[in-house]
């Protein structure tokens, strides 16, 4: 680890994969990592968003690889990791940020198809990505894995039951992987509170002032709040941190 407190946060020469990297928290993480010197690989499902994000980040002078696919699809993961290794020859950071939540309501009303979709994207996907990146590079060369969970993974919220259960599982998966993969690979969870993204729009747009007033910080989060925390977990600044759940929620858990 560098003795320079600023240099410890640099990612020069490293390659980072970010799933769901075209908008919201994932986009902010991709841009922040690029600003810290990393080459970035973004995985997302929409061509237009991939093209726009790639062009915007490349305009800063960063090498970018944009791949269409789903975090919950094994073929997409194999293509993602294979093309990253072909293009860059290494994978130093993995951020599992993509998530799915196709339903809202009581868990007793869940159908199996919706349940499987949440499970395969939010829990199976991060495990498959970790397996692929570790086998391709990280186990032999070191790396940092960051799983993006949710405040609902540590505190139940009505209407989001299966999503919250999947995120609680992701937090525990992180701890298990950290135990198994040390010392070469560090694995941590980044847990956002309510952040102003399109994905969470239904939860904040019509009651932003009320929800912000309930927080000690008196404001909702923005993607950049999480990107700064992700940079810490990805960089040498957190070289002695693994198996942890870093909650960035404006103080929600203490209210």
| Confidence band of 2 (pLDDT split at 50, 70, 90) | very low
Q: Is the pLDDT of residue 203 over 80?
A: no
Q: At what angle do helices 161-181 and 112-119 cross, to 10 degrees?
A: 30
Instruction: Tell me the domain boundaries of the chain.
Output: 7-245
Average pLDDT over residues 186-198: 93
Superfamily of 7-245 according to CATH:
NAD(P)-binding Rossmann-like Domain (3.40.50.720)
- Strand, helix or coil for residue 93: strand
Average pLDDT over residues 109-128: 96
Whole-prediction pTM: 0.95
Set 33, 163, 200, 204: catalytic member = 163
| Confidence band of 1 (pLDDT split at 50, 70, 90) | very low
Burial, 136: exposed, middle or buried (Cβ in 10 Å; 0-12, 13-18, 19+)?
Answer: middle
**pLDDT score for 121:** 97
Note if 104 is an active site residue. no
Q: What is the tens place of the pLDDT at every residue in 57-80?
A: 999 999 999 999 999 999 999 999
The number of residues in the chain equals 255
CA distance 4 to 72: 39
């Amino acid at each position: 680890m560098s003795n320079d407190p600023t240099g410890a946060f640099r990612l020069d020469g490293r390659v980072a994969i970010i799933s769901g990297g075209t908008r919201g928290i994932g986009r902010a993480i991709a841009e922040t990592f690029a600003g810290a010197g990393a080459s970035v690989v973004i995985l997302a499902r929409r061509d237009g968003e991939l093209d726009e994000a790639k062009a915007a980040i490349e305009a800063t002078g960063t090498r970018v690889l944009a791949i269409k696919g789903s975090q919950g699809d094994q073929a997409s993961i194999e293509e993602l990791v294979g093309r990253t290794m072909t293009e860059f020859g290494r994978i130093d950071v993995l951020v599992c940020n993509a998530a799915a939540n196709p339903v809202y309501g009581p868990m007793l009303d869940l159908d199996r198809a919706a349940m499987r979709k949440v499970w395969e994207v939010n829990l199976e996907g991060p495990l498959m990505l970790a397996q692929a990146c570790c086998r391709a590079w990280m186990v032999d060369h070191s790396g940092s894995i960051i799983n993006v969970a949710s405040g609902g993974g540590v505190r139940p919220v009505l209407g989001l039951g299966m999503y919250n259960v999947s995120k609680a599982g992701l937090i525990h998966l992180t701890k298990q992987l950290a135990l198994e993969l040390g010392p070469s690979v560090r694995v941590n969870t980044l847990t956002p509170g309510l952040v102003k993204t399109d994905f969470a729009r239904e939860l904040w747009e019509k009651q932003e002032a009320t929800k912000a007033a309930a927080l000690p910080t008196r404001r909702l989060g923005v993607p950049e709040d999480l990107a700064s925390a992700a940079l810490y977990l990805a960089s040498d600044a957190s070289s002695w941190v693994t198996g942890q759940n870093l909650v960035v929620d404006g103080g929600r858990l203490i209210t």
